[in-house]
Amino acid sequence: MAGEWILNTIVRGIALGTPLLWAALGEVYAERSGVVNLGVEGMMVLGAFAAFALAQASGLPYLGLLLAAGVGALAALLHAFVVITLRANQYVSGLALTMLGLGLSALLGRRWEGLPLLNTLPEISPLTYGGLLLAGMLWLVLYHTRWGIILRSTGESPAAVDTMGLNVFLVRYLAVVFGGALAGVGGGLLSVAYRPSWTEGMTVGLGWIAIAITIFASWDPLRAATGAFLFGALFHLSFRLQTWVAPEPLQMMPFAVTILVLAVVTRRGGAQGVPEALGIPYTRGES
């Protein structure tokens, strides 16, 4: 009885951890290039809507996820253009992206609200294993390949990368757009696998948790995987324990724990692992 309960909690925690993992891995790469994207919530909700709509229309959930990746990438491209080319404030642009994503998906998604989805993915799908594999691959690329060195250097010292004759802007564009595609898939997993349906604003703050996981993980893909499943389990517990405790204090829990965890992590390690140039627009010929 208790064993079954625990097992069930773990399985559901992994199921909810999968979307978090995909989104957090994307943010790790974007931030490693020196660009903060606070639009994760917006990109996820757009991905959730796009995946649901196409999966519903075509009956092919994987096709839906592919579209979600494309939509996430497109949304991230907007952020990239505004903050890399126009050198606008990254925080404000990310917030704008979240507002736009929530508004746009609610507007366009209205006629899909409450429709059934016949072809769904299981909660623990190949995308769960794929996410873990991806975490390992991204870790390898980041620390053991030339691409990884370029990506990390772009986030640490863009001027040095520029001096080597490499294109800082291109690296950042690629990293941000790649991050958007992963966030889109993360959102899509919510609407075709975790809770196969479309409701406006169905990301309920998971995008922000994915950003917190990025910080918690010190911008390391493998640690991001750990964080994603921990927070997935925590989020799931906040539903499970509702038999005994009022739902609202439980729903607060993941957000309160996020603050506590960040306080412990950042205090112990200082600002360990923060890419030096994070959040600073790059201008050629400066510094």
Partner 1 sequence: MRVGPVVVERRDAPSWSWTLAISALAVGMALTLAGAIFWSYGVPPLRAYGVIVRGTLFNARAAPEIVRNAIPLLLAGVGLVLAFRALFWNIGAEGQILLGATAATWVALFSPVPDAWKLPAMFAAGFVGGALWGLIPALLKLRFAVNEVISTLMMNYIALYLVSWLVHGPWKGPEMRGFAFTNAFPAAARIPTIADTRVHWPTLMLGLLLAAAVAYLLARTRAGFEIRMQGENPEAARYAGVDPLRTTMLVMVIAGGAAGLAGVGEVGGIHHRLLDPTQISLGFGYAAIIVAWLARGSPLAAIGTAAFLGLIFASGDVMRVALQMPARVTDVFNGLILFCLIGSERALSWRLRWAPGGARQPAAAPPETVASEAPGSDR
State the minimum distance, in angstroms, from the CB of residue 101 to partner 1: 8
Q: How far is the CB of 92 from partner 1 (least distance, A)?
A: 5
**Token digits for 76?**
């991230």
- Looking at the Cβ atoms of 7 and 263, the one nearer to partner 1 is 263
Task: Please tell me the distance from the alpha carbon of residue 263 to that of residue 52, in angstroms, as a whole number.
Answer: 37
Contacts of 111 (CB under 8 A, 6+ apart): none
Residue 63 or 88: the one with the smaller Cβ distance to partner 1 is 88
**The pair of three-digit structure tokens given for residue 146, joined into one six-digit string:** 């030339």
CB contact at 8 A, 34 and 158: yes
Choose between 100 and 141: whose C-beta lies nearer to partner 1.
100
Residue 82 or 174: the one with the smaller Cβ distance to partner 1 is 82
Q: Find the shortest distance in angstroms from Cβ 166 to partner 1.
A: 18
- Cα–Cα distance between 163 and 156 in angstroms, integer? 14
Nearer to partner 1, 146 or 268 (CB): 268
Give the nearest distance from C-beta 67 to partner 1 in angstroms: 16
Query: What 8-state DSSP symbol labels residue 234?
Result: H
Enter the DSSP assignment of 112: G
Name the site residues for partner 1 (rule: CB under 8 A): 38, 42, 78, 82, 86-89, 91-93, 95-104, 106-108, 110, 200-201, 205, 208, 211-212, 215, 246, 248-249, 251-252, 255-256, 258-259, 262-263, 266-267, 270-271, 283-286
Minimal distance, residue 264 CB to partner 1, in Å: 8
Taking the least distance from each CB to partner 1, the nearer of 3 and 114 is: 114
Residue 224 CB, nearest approach to partner 1 (Å): 15
Output 160 or 256, the one with its CB closest to partner 1.
Answer: 256
Residue 237 Cβ vs partner 1, minimum distance, rounded to whole Å: 15
Q: How far apart are CA 104 and CA 200, in angstroms?
A: 10
Closest distance to partner 1 from the beta carbon of 98 (Å): 8
In the complex with partner 1, the residue whose CB is nearer, 87 or 144, is: 87
